[in-house]
Amino acid sequence: MVIGRKAWHIGPLSLCNRDTRDKMQRGGVASIDEDECLRWLAMKKSSSVLYICFGSMSKTDFSAAQLFEIAKALTASGQNFIWAVKNGEKTKGEDREEWLPEGFEKKMHGKDVLKIGVAVGAQEWSRHERKILVKKEEIENAITQLMVGEVAEGIRNRTKALKEMARRATEVEGSSYCDLNALLEDLRAIVYQLLEQDEHGLSEK
């Protein structure tokens, strides 16, 4: 459907900030030092670490049972990973250790990283949604497809292509850069037009 309205295609805005240190400070204080995390990543091969983060504004108030399944799948997958878990995902009245599989952190020490952040704007799922439990086997299979084999390579290649397109869009003279400037110019034109109308109205009085 064509509605005939002008659109300005701006984004991704996250690429406008090139200060890595500043971006690392977002999302609250984590239980692991950022420098320690970076040193750990530096020891890993390229494209060998899975990052899991369900976001702070999405409906990610998982049950303890679902978090338990995710943790089991990550352990069984044998993949290096960083898992960002909000405090809001501890589940009501529970400490995070209570939903982790027994010995999880000990097994992961020196191999994987468990990163605990803070809750921001977590939303509750409905009772019906919370009954849906994705089992360990399904999650492990998805992790394997994402990290190993031709399917994984295809995903990485498409992701790299999209990353490059996004980077070019936010560079000087890129599509997003130009659309942002066009939006600012249009807003200025509207302001000037309103000011002229006000001045014209005052002069008539």
β-sheet bridge partners, residue 84 = 53, 115
Q: What is the pLDDT of residue 15?
A: 79
CA distances from 105 to 64, 109, 136 (A): 16, 6, 18
pLDDT at 119: 36
Mean pLDDT score of the chain, rounded to an integer?
Answer: 76
Rounded Cα distance between 152 and 172, Å, is 32
pLDDT for the residue numbered 59 = 45
DSSP summary character for residue 92:
T
pTM of the shown model: 0.64
Q: What is the mean pLDDT of residues 176-205?
A: 85
**Tens of pLDDT, residues 64-88:** 788 889 889 998 999 999 887 765 5
Specify the CATH class of 13-149 in words: alpha beta
Element spanning 52, H or E: strand 49-53
pLDDT for res 141: 92
Contacts 24+ apart (CB under 8 A), 74-79: 74/50, 74/112, 74/139, 74/143, 75/101, 75/104, 75/107, 75/108, 76/136, 76/140, 77/50, 77/140, 77/143, 77/144, 77/147, 79/48, 79/49, 79/50, 79/143, 79/147
Percent of the chain with pLDDT over 90: 25
- Helices and strands (H and E) in the chain: how many: 9, 3
- Residue 136 is predicted with a pLDDT of 92
Per-residue model confidence as pLDDT tens digits over 150-176: 889 999 899 999 999 999 999 999 999
Predicted pLDDT at 113: 53
Size of the chain, expressed as the number of residues it contains: 205
Which sequence spans correspond to the domains of the chain?
A: 13-149
Residues 100-144 have pLDDT tens digits of: 777 676 666 555 554 444 333 333 444 444 567 889 999 999 999
What is the pLDDT at residue 26?
64
For residues 33 and 53, the model is more confident at 53
